Amino acid sequence: MSKPASTPSDPLREVEHAVLPVCDPATDQVVGEVPCQGPADVADAVDRAASAQPDWARRPTMERAEIVSEVGRRLREDDRALSRLITAEQGKPLGESEAEIAYAASFFEVAAAEIGAIVPEEIVMTGKRATIEYRPMGVTAAITPWNFPLAMLAKKAAAALATGCGQIVKPAEQTPLTAIRFAEIAASAGVPDGIIQILTGDPDPLGDAILRDPRVRRFSFTGSTEVGRLLMSRAARQPLPVSLELGGHAPLLVFDDADLDRAIEVTMAAKFRNAGQTCIAPNRILLQSGIHDRYVEALSRRAAALTSGRGVDGVDLGPLIDDAAVAKVETHVGDAEEHGGDIVLGGGRRSLPGLADRFPEPTIILGADPRMLCWREETFGPVCPIRRFETAEEGIRLANDSSYGLAAYVVCGSASQGARIAQSLEYGIVGVNDGLPAVAQVPFGGVKHSGFGREGGRLGLHEYLVPTTISRVD
Ligand code: ADP
């Protein structure tokens, strides 16, 4: 279906259907509004999904795959309008919104290609044989964050659609318009009514109602570790299987023999995308002594040249999503300074006439250490804490000194050293000389407090399938 799940039908529910404004974080201008839905709407949405899903699942796999791939095509076709919408409600530069659309579309293309490879398996034993079928889980639900309003939804919806599931999605309150537009595009590509539905409103009651509904068979969440813990405990009431893609605290290790230009390119791509608001952004930059000074000089030059402003104005850095995000960045920078960190670039805000005050300067902190907040918690801003190390063993120990385990980066001159270091890192995804390791073809997800479950590639589809064994005596 293409619209938020339902319309008010009785006076008691009208309170819930007050509208919620959606604002441009760069200007605070209202760019749209969405209904404030509640538990009754969740029940309606699950009803509709539960009646539509069996037919969707019965469609021949290749017919479904054709529709899934058409969703990807239409996302790419709608690129101009959709990128403006993402930038309007999220703030990121237009070019990054376009890249996000291409990334999102690739999940549909990969899911459509991979689903055909998942076929029943036959295990032959003495006197009997078993068939293992992969069946769609049924109605599924997702809660998505604001930093990649389209891509984080696409990862979940592509797998749900390709496997024959339905999905109820609650997008972040900051960025619901992209999700609503996505559902319209999916409907135009041939996704049947009820199979993808968007619910908007107060997250807590919506999430609670979703997780209580026994017809929901899987829950997928991308967001903070704190909220992930809460939702997992609520899912445990059924219990309901969950996938959690939570926070990250990526280390970026640069070794003496690294190509300096490559190291800077990897850093710029991984750190400053979305003004640092990504769960795979490097939060601890670990530099071997021999390259430390040259790297800091080169990074300072490049980071200082980054421009800030409205995403539609051709800038490098958009605003942070809200005032709390800016306050967190400033707390981390202040705390690092108190603990002896040396701020060699930035540390303040850029004041831009006519715009909201949400543009922290690109910031470099030398002498970062484990006592600092920025060493332990995600900063989610354009801040680069840097620390020096001597030996590879020390670098690896510092890199693994985190309760998170989502992404890590290594930049070095030798492929065999890169592979060896990567094997020692306790992270779900490691980029070696690669600042953008997360692509739709490969599984993405974390270890430790970064969560569990995988999205992308064939493994991502298995999250939405139940292996069912049918055993027969010969
Ligand atoms: P962030 O700190 O990046 O905003 P959150 O974990 O708070 O990350 O938000 C990610 C998603 O989780 C958003 O869609 C948000 O609305 C949702 N969310 C936050 N709190 C709750 C909650 N109590 N119940 C259900 N969903 C929630």
Give the list of residues 6+ apart from residue 128 with CB closer than 8 angstroms, or none. Answer: 471, 472, 473, 474
Please say whether the beta carbons of 407 and 439 come within 8 A. no
Query: Is 434 a residue whose pLDDT tops 80?
Result: yes
Architecture of domain 250-439: 3-Layer(aba) Sandwich (3.40)
For the CA of 144, the nearest atom of ligand 1: 14
Strands annotated E in 80-138: 121-125, 128-136
Task: Tell how far the Cα of 261 is from the centroid of ligand 1, in angstroms.
Answer: 37
Query: Given this model, what pLDDT does residue 2 score?
Result: 38
> Three-class SS of residue 353?
coil
* Active-site residue (options: 70, 98, 109, 245): 245
55 pLDDT tier (thresholds 50, 70, 90): very high
Contact 16, 36 (CB under 8 A): yes
Q: How many residues does the chain have?
A: 474
The rounded mean pLDDT for the chain is 96
Taking phi over 0 as left and psi of -120 to 50 as alpha, with beta for the rest, 10 belongs to beta
Tokens 């969707």 belong to residue:
56
Q: Is the CB of 322 under 6 A from ligand 1?
A: no
* Mean pLDDT score, 249-274: 98
Distances, alpha carbon 212 to alpha carbons 39, 52, 172, 202, 452, in Å: 10, 20, 20, 16, 21
Residue 44, both tokens: 């309606």
Ligand 1 contact via 400 beta carbon (within 6 Å) = no
Domain edges within the chain:
19-246+450-473, 250-439
Q: How close is the Cα of 152 to the center of ligand 1, in Å? A: 13
Q: How far is the CA of 18 from the centre of ligand 1 (A)?
A: 20
Instruction: Evaluate whether 19-246+450-473 and 250-439 have a shared fold.
Output: no
The answer to whether 417 and 409 have CB atoms below 8 angstroms apart is: no
Whether 230 lines ligand 1, by a CB cut-off of 6 Å, is yes
How far is ligand 1, taken at its centre, from the CA of residue 171, in Å?
A: 9
Tell if the pTM clears 0.85, that is, is over it. Answer: yes
pLDDT band at 373 (very low <50, low <70, confident <90, very high): very high
| Residue 245 among the catalytic residues | yes
In this prediction, residue 4 has a pLDDT band, given cuts at 50, 70 and 90, of very low
Strand partners for 1: none
Closest CA to ligand 1's atom 23: 204
Would you state the pLDDT for residue 5?
47
Count of other CB atoms within 10 angstroms of residue 1 = 21
Separation CA 339–CA 7 (nearest Å): 54
Q: Is 224 near ligand 1, meaning CB less than 6 Å away? A: yes
Query: Which 8-state DSSP code applies to residue 466?
Result: E
Spacing, Cα 247 to ligand 1 middle (Å)? 12
> Residue 448, by phi and psi: left (phi above 0), alpha (psi -120 to 50) or beta?
left
Tokens of 326: 């800016």
The pLDDT, as a whole number, for residue 243 is: 98
Please give the average per-residue pLDDT across 50-77, as a whole number: 98
Q: What is the pLDDT of residue 17?
A: 64
List the Cα angle 310/314/318 in 5-degree steps: 35
Q: pLDDT tens digits, residue range 119-141?
A: 999 999 999 999 999 999 999 99
Q: What is the best residue among 20, 143, 234 to mutate for testing ligand 1's pocket, by most ligand atoms within 8 Å of CB?
A: 143
Residue 7 scores a pLDDT above 50: no
pLDDT of 6 higher than 50: no
- 396 HSE (CA, 13 A, CB side): 13
Q: Name beta bridge partners: 342.
A: 366
The CATH number that domain 19-246+450-473 falls under is 3.40.605.10
**Token pair belonging to 131:** 């068939």
Query: Among 156, 227, 229, 321, which residue has the most ligand 1 atoms within 8 Å of its CB, making it the best to mutate?
Result: 227
- How far is it, in rounded angstroms, from Cα 65 to Cα 71? 10
| Number of separate helices (H) and strands (E) present in the chain | 16, 18
Model confidence at 380: pLDDT above 90: yes
Residue nearest to ligand 1 atom 7, measured at CA: 224
pLDDT (tens digit per residue) in 21-43: 999 999 999 999 999 999 999 99
Provide φ and ψ at 407, rounded to 5°. Answer: -125, 155
Among 23, 279, 374, 412, the active-site one is 279
Q: Is 233 in the pocket of ligand 1 (CB under 6 A)?
A: no
Residue keyed to tokens 């037919």 = 55
Helix or strand or coil: residue 23?
Answer: strand
User: Measured from the CB, is residue 39 less than 6 Å from ligand 1?
Assistant: no
pLDDT digits (tens, 9 = 90+) for 381-399: 999 999 999 999 999 999 9
Instruction: Assess whether the C-beta atom of 173 lies below 6 angstroms from ligand 1.
Output: yes
Residue with tokens 């997800």: 445
63 is a catalytic site residue: no
Non-local CB neighbours of 298 within 8 Å, separated by 6+ positions: 260, 264
Residue 169 CA to ligand 1 center (angstroms) comes to: 12
